[in-house]
Structure 1
Amino acid sequence: MDLLRRTTMIFLLGALAATSACGNRNKGASNTTHRELERRDDVGNPIDGLYADENASSESIWNLFGPDDSDLTLSVNKYLWAASIEVLNFLPIQTVDPFSGVISTGYGTPPGGGRSYRATVYIRDAALDARSLNVALQTRGGRAVSEGTARAVEDAILTRARQIRISDSKF
């Protein structure tokens, strides 16, 4: 009987120690400093609106299942997206992220060309505008292409995007 009592006591003490280790013991100044560090960007400027409730005393896993308070919306112009893929169809696509607007390609040779290029396309806005599009081209040697060549590719994408939009509005 004494052995059973000792075993039970050791088990209960172990369970108590394990559950007490799960709590947040740093609710004082160090926690405040940590929140202040999270609320600053790379330069050190404060970022507003990072937390939905700044005065929340505790956070738990159940907060994940609550309502979504974020109002962050990323939007990409569908015509620029489609035109970019169509104009650069000679390049193999490596990665695409339609939420942030990035298309990254591998090396490929344009029809009738002798050099190999790769491209990264960044669509920043939902507007069908030249300011919404940024194309970076690179040769196989690692050098960036001339500004005129990159501008010509951007113009070709913009022209094709406008053509797609016009044909889309006819329906």
Structure 2
Amino acid sequence: MTTMRKSALVLAALGVCLSFSACASLGSKGKDGATTSANATVPEEESKIDFGNLFGGKKASKSSNAEQAGIGVNAYLWRASLDTISFMPLTSADPWGGVIITDWYANPQTPDEHFKVTIFILDSRLRADALNVAVQKEVRSGDRWVTADVSQQTQLDIENAILSRARELRLSDVKN
């Protein structure tokens, strides 16, 4: 698919979304759960639109735990990620997009270096390949911070800690 065609699809979808959001304030929910407007009554299930196939994505399964929890990614990976990096200040956490970004964190024992972590949860299933961790490191050089290399092992250790915690959370839910 060409870039121009993809851009046209994105613009068309954006236009549709804007149209629906503009119309959303006109409708209201009736006591039967239907969305009503001046012209029509539409059952709530029919008023939901799946844009996944428009962009070449797969249709989401309605039975996944993550969707039932109200987030767009695996709930165990999400909670485990937050638990694992709880000592770091958060800059952003998007449970629908599956992105967690921390602010810079300096270990008090090594104040001349600090780290920033970005976690991507890529799937609604609890799988090792549904998780990607990116770590940035900076070291102090005089009065400024300079980017430094982070070992691949550091990123793998964080991923493994998150996956272990996610398995613990899942097992505790199964037992209860």
Question: TM-score range with shorter-chain normalisation?
Answer: 0.5 to 0.7
Q: Is 1:130 aligned with 2:146?
A: no
Residues 45 and 152 of structure 1: is their aligned pair in 2 closer, same or farther, counting only changes over 3 Å?
A: farther
Q: Is 1:70 aligned with 2:49?
A: yes
Compare the two structures and name the one with the higher strand fraction: 2
TM-score (normalised: structure 2): 0.58
Structure 1 residue 170 displacement after superposition? 0.8
**CA deviation string 1:9-68 (max 9, x = no partner):** xxxxxxxxxxxxxxxxxxxxxxxxxxxxxxx87x334449x55xx9xxxx7986445774
Partner of 1:88: 85
> 1:80–1:128: 8 Å Cα contact kept in structure 2?
yes
Structure 1 residue 100 displacement after superposition? 0.4
Query: Which one of the candidate residues 69, 74, 97 is aligned to 1:100?
Result: 97
Look up the SS of the partner of 1:128 in the other structure: coil
Partner of 2:171: 166
Q: Output the amino acid matched with 2:162.
A: I
Q: Identity of aligned pairs, percent?
A: 34
Structure 1 residue 112 displacement after superposition? 6.5
1:1-171 to structure 2, matched below 5 A, reads: 43-46=3-6, 47=9, 50=12, 63-64=23-24, 65=26, 68-72=47-51, 75-109=72-106, 115-140=113-138, 141-171=146-176
In the alignment, structure 2 segments of 5+ residues that lack a partner are: 28-34, 36-46, 52-59, 61-70, 139-145
Q: Output the amino acid matched with 1:148.
A: Q
Q: Which has the larger radius of gyration?
A: 1
CA–CA separation in structure 1 for the residues paired with 2:109 and 2:156? 19
**CA deviation string 1:131-160 (max 9, x = no partner):** 111111001233352212111111111111
CA–CA separation in structure 2 for the residues paired with 1:152 and 1:113? 19
CA–CA separation in structure 1 for the residues paired with 2:103 and 2:166? 22
**CA deviation string 1:82-102 (max 9, x = no partner):** 111111112101111111011
Look up the SS of the partner of 2:155 in the other structure: helix
In the alignment, structure 1 segments of 5+ residues that lack a partner are: 1-39
> 1:137–1:144: 8 Å Cα contact kept in structure 2?
no
Give aligned pairs, total. Answer: 127
